[in-house]
């Protein structure tokens, strides 16, 4: 594996985990995780002609669910830095011109040649130091069309000390230190600082997971 950009992060996956990522999540959660994902993506109310930017898209599993609601004019662009993920994404969508992959670091400021109706990030943003998360939010903000929505599917805000002991020990065993910090923050307040002023949220998996939709509605 290449040297990690953030050695303490848990989201830069090794080649084996990357290759089997979807299957590992499905088996480890006994099917609950894929069901929660499907339900979360349903709440995004994807329109046939939407253009969606998927930050840290992984294997393309989520992009595929989103693409089910698109017609031939809809688009998904997935960004990721993993060669293994790129291979799976491109194989999954071979021949489907609506979905494309770009090798792109999302933790640095970047500028694409177009903007999107929706920007989506799933189980990625928790894995960065907080100052880097702010760069990611800025990247999302700058790639949204007016009235577009930023969707964060990730851990909800909760107190680890109040978790049942079994859940707490699993969370502590599998997650990185950045996730412990992520769950303590007030994400609506953070996003307000970037101009987002309307929020919807949906909870899954005993409320440990949340889809947060943030939109900027002009006054
Ligand atoms: C935990 S996986 C989540 C994948 C996908 N979003 C999902 O929900 O199935 C984290 C993903 O973030 C990608 N990633 C990590 N650091 C990144 C970075 N700096 N820029 C872009 N992608 C990154 C990883 O390669 C991996 O595919």
* Euclidean distance between CA atoms 98 and 106, whole angstroms: 21
Q: Which residues contact 157 (CB under 8 A, 6 or more apart)?
A: 183, 184, 185, 186, 187, 210
Q: Whose CA is nearest to atom 25 of ligand 1?
A: 82
Q: Are 80 and 86 in contact (CB under 8 A)?
A: yes
- Tell whether ligand 1 has an atom less than 6 A from the beta carbon of residue 123: yes
Select from 4, 10, 11 the residue to mutate for testing ligand 1; criterion: most ligand atoms less than 8 Å from CB: 11
Crossing angle (nearest 10°) for helices 32-42 and 21-28 = 110
Determine the structural domain holding residue 199 and report its residue range: 15-31+44-215
Cα dihedral 58/38/174/179 (nearest 10): 80
CATH number at residue 19: 3.40.50.150
Is residue 54 situated within a structural domain?
Answer: yes
Is residue 36 situated within a structural domain?
Answer: no
If residue 75 lies in a helix (H) or strand (E), which one and from where to where? strand 75-80
Whole-Å CA distances, 32 to 39, 130, 173, 207: 11, 29, 19, 13
Between the CA of 86 and the centroid of ligand 1 the distance, in Å, is 11
Is residue 190 situated within a structural domain?
Answer: yes
Is residue 38 situated within a structural domain?
Answer: no
Between the CA of 23 and the centroid of ligand 1 the distance, in Å, is 16
Ligand 1 atom, smallest distance to 58 CA: 27
Is residue 6 situated within a structural domain?
Answer: no
- Tell whether ligand 1 has an atom less than 6 A from the beta carbon of residue 88: no
Looking at the predicted structure, is the pLDDT value of residue 159 above 80?
Answer: yes
Across 96-113, average pLDDT: 98
Across 138-142, average pLDDT: 98
What's the total number of domains in the chain?
1
Q: Whose CA is nearest to atom 26 of ligand 1?
A: 58
Is residue 144 situated within a structural domain?
Answer: yes
Looking at the predicted structure, is the pLDDT value of residue 91 above 80?
Answer: yes
Residue percentage of the chain with pLDDT more than 70: 99
* DSSP letter assigned to residue 69: T
* Euclidean distance between CA atoms 52 and 116, whole angstroms: 6
Residue percentage of the chain with pLDDT more than 90: 97
Q: Which residues contact 56 (CB under 8 A, 6 or more apart)?
A: 11, 79, 80, 106, 121, 122, 123, 124
Select from 20, 56, 154 the residue to mutate for testing ligand 1; criterion: most ligand atoms less than 8 Å from CB: 56
What is residue 217's predicted lDDT score, i.e. its pLDDT? 84
Residue 147's CB is within 10 A of a number of other CB atoms, namely: 11
Q: For the chain, what is the mean pLDDT?
A: 96
Looking at the predicted structure, is the pLDDT value of residue 206 above 60?
Answer: yes
Give residue 1's pLDDT band: very low, low, confident or very high (50, 70, 90): low
Is residue 57 situated within a structural domain?
Answer: yes
- Tell whether ligand 1 has an atom less than 6 A from the beta carbon of residue 106: yes
Looking at the predicted structure, is the pLDDT value of residue 24 above 80?
Answer: yes
Looking at the predicted structure, is the pLDDT value of residue 151 above 60?
Answer: yes
């Amino acid at each position: 594996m290449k040297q990690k950009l953030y050695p303490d992060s848990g989201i830069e996956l090794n080649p084996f985990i990357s290759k089997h990522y979807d299957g590992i999540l499905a088996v480890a959660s006994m099917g609950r995780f894929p069901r929660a994902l499907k339900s979360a993506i349903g709440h995004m109310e994807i329109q046939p002609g939407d253009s969606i930017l998927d930050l840290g898209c992984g294997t393309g599993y989520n992009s595929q669910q989103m693409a089910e609601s698109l017609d031939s004019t809809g688009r998904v662009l997935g960004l990721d830095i993993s060669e293994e993920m790129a291979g799976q994404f491109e194989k999954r969508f071979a021949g489907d011109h609506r979905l494309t992959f770009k090798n792109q670091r999302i933790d640095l400021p970047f500028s694409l040649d177009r903007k999107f109706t929706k920007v989506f990030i799933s189980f990625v943003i928790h894995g960065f130091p907080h100052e880097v998360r702010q760069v990611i939010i800025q990247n999302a903000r700058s790639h949204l069309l007016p009235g577009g929505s930023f969707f964060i599917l990730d851990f909800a805000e909760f107190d680890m000390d109040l978790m049942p002991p079994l859940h707490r020990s699993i969370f502590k065993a599998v997650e990185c230190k950045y996730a412990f910090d992520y769950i303590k923050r007030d994400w609506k307040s953070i996003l307000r600082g970037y101009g987002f002023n309307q929020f919807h949220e949906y909870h899954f998996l005993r409320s440990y997971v949340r889809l947060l939709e943030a939109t900027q509605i002009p006054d």
